[in-house]
Amino acid sequence: MELRKSHRLVLLGALLFGTMIRSVYAGEVNAAVAANFTAPVQQIVALFEKETGNTVKLSFGSSGKFYSQIKEGAPFDVFLAADEKNPKLLEQESLAVANTRFVYALGKLVLWSAKPGFVDDKGAVLSKGSYNKLSYADPKLAPYGLAAQETLQKLELWDKVQSKLVTGESITQAYQFAATGNAELAFIALSQITKDGKVTEGSWWVVPENLYTPIKQSAVLLSAAKDKIAAQAFLDFLKSKKAAAIIRSFGYELP
Amino acid sequence: MQTLDPSDLQAIWLTLKLASVVTLLLLFIATPLAWWLAHSRKWYKGIVSAMVALPLVLPPTVLGFYLLLLMGPQGLVGELTSALHLGRLPFSFAGLVIGSVLFSMPFAVQPIQNAFEAIGKRPLEVAATLRANAWDRFVSVALPLARPGFLTAIILAFAHTVGEFGVVLMLGGNIPGETRVLSVAIYNHVEAMEYAPAHLLAGGMVLFSFIVLLSLYLTGGKVWRVTR
């Protein structure tokens, strides 16, 4: 088919206009999501897209990295962090819309080994010290790493484990060290080893909640999206019963 | 003026130690390999060349990931090292050395190989007519003539090891004094939003790299020709 140049321009214009209309009515949401929430958010988004016709583009990473990127103007609409600190900071700096922050999940810390039967259900393996390495995420960077440090300090094992500690830059890497068997023990998130409400591999000890400060994974609407209906709709959906069921099935608690 | 804390100084010292050990090892490994690649006509020469050049194109995380698996308790290398009572390589300085040697291999082999090839057969044949044996021809003819290639190899291998990040991150476990090298320390500072020490270390790194490359160009080293 031959099209004259002017016709092609008109066609191009119509296409562009069409996509613009689409993005106004059937909204598109850009979400920055903490890496530990990868699997559940994908299920939640699938449901949300089916019910509302909106689309959600997901980016995964560490909360600290997202904080810096958002400060530098990264084009995100909502931020699902692994902690409370980073969303709070954004709120104070007017980069997030006030009164939109809420806890969408409570993270649970777990001591895990890829070997079945290696971790007992009281975590006594830690004090016995008969393991090669213990991996955890950098407490300066990752909330789960900080929780692991607090746990070890409460158990008065912090000094004892120093020689065995290896640090991942995120809980993903802490898991990786243990999954490849290079570290026999790892402090990670329960959600990393939970599928459909069950843990299927290795052995684990769910760390009692009185040993660490609650990991309040918080979400917030970012200022750039304060008039974006789809972004607000997504956050509302995150609070819904349907979303809650998915979140629980991955080993999180709800507030 | 902002000063560095002891753990940063430790990271600098560790990085220099790693780069020195790796460069020295690479000279012993790369020289015979480059000699063979420069003179061999075997059909599998292409395969060896390709393997040596692989780290140039692979993301460091790929190399780091496979080394982590290989050196792990279920990996071939891991089983070997524990059978020999050498312990485990990941999270250790020795592990970083091995990873870095592999990662910087092309930067050492290729300049030396090119230098050997540039000499050609003629000087060696002349030496042979003067009754120099093979070892003699290599030591007193080939090595001195290939000196610019060696210089380039040493500088590039050293600098490339200093600048290495992905492999170290995947393999190291960020242990102070053992595996926390400069690039990892910088990454941690940036991630933790400690921009002052990050600037100091990162700025130093930029300056160091610039001086290294400048010295190469000023001494007439042909960096880009020899690496590709």
Per-residue confidence (pLDDT) for residue A195, from 0 to 100:
81
- What are the average pLDDT values for consecutive 10-residue runs of chain A, which has 255 residues? 59 57 68 90 95 93 85 91 94 95 95 95 89 93 92 95 92 92 94 85 94 95 94 96 94 91
Question: Is B1 a member of any domain?
Answer: no
Residue B227 pLDDT exceeds 50: no
**pLDDT tens digits, residue range B119-133?**
988 898 898 898 888
| Model confidence pLDDT, tens digit, residues B162-184 | 999 989 988 888 888 889 999 99
Q: Which of A132, A169, A176 sits opposite B191 (nearest CB)?
A: A169
Beta carbons within 10 angstroms of residue B190's beta carbon: 18
Confirm or reject contact between B173 and chain A (CB < 8 A).
yes
Please tell me the number of Cα atoms within 13 Å of A207 on its side-chain side: 29
Domain annotation covers residue B69: yes
pLDDT number for residue B1: 47
Residues in chain B within 8 Å Cβ distance of A168: 173-174
With CB atoms and an 8 Å threshold, state whether B69 touches A177.
Answer: no
Binned at pLDDT 50, 70 and 90, residue B222 comes out as: low
Considering only the beta carbons, identify the residue of A68, A173, A176 that sits closest to B193.
A68
| B62 in reach of chain A (CB within 8 A) | no
ipTM of the complex: 0.72
Minimal C-alpha gap between B192 and chain A (Å): 6
Using CA coordinates, name the residue in chain B closest to A168: B173
Instruction: Kindly state whether A42 is in contact with chain B, defined as any CB-CB distance less than 8 angstroms.
Output: no
Contact list, B99 vs chain A (CB under 8 Å): none
Cβ A167–B173 below 8 Å, yes or no? yes
**pLDDT in the model for residue A92:** 95
Query: Distance, in angstroms, between B14 CA and closest chain A CA?
Result: 17
pLDDT of residue B216: 79
pLDDT in tens, A65-78: 888 889 888 899 99
User: CB contact, 8 Å: B94 with chain A?
Assistant: no
Give yes or no for A62 touching B (CB within 8 A): yes
Task: State how far residue B4 is from chain A, nearest Cα, in angstroms.
Answer: 18
Domains of chain A, start order: 5-106+216-249 (3.40.190.10), 109-206 (3.40.190.10)
Give the CATH number, domain containing residue B23.
1.10.3720.10
Range of the domain at B156: 6-227
Span B16-42, mean pLDDT? 95
- Per-residue pLDDT at B223 exceeds 60: no
Which range of A45-49, B59-63, B82-86 scores highest in mean pLDDT? It is A45-49
Give chain B's domain count: 1
Mutate to test the interface with B, among A118, A180, A187 (most CBs of B within 10 A): A180
Question: How far apart are the CA of A181 and the nearest CA of chain B, in angstroms?
Answer: 6
Query: Can you give the pLDDT at residue B74?
Result: 86
| B70 in any annotated domain | yes
Q: Between B6 and A91, name the one with better pLDDT.
A: A91
Q: Which residues of A touch B68 (CB under 8 A)?
A: 176-177, 180, 182
Give the pLDDT score at A68. Answer: 83
Q: Which two tokens stand for residue B116?
A: 């050997």
pLDDT of residue B188: 85
Average pLDDT over residues B209-217: 86
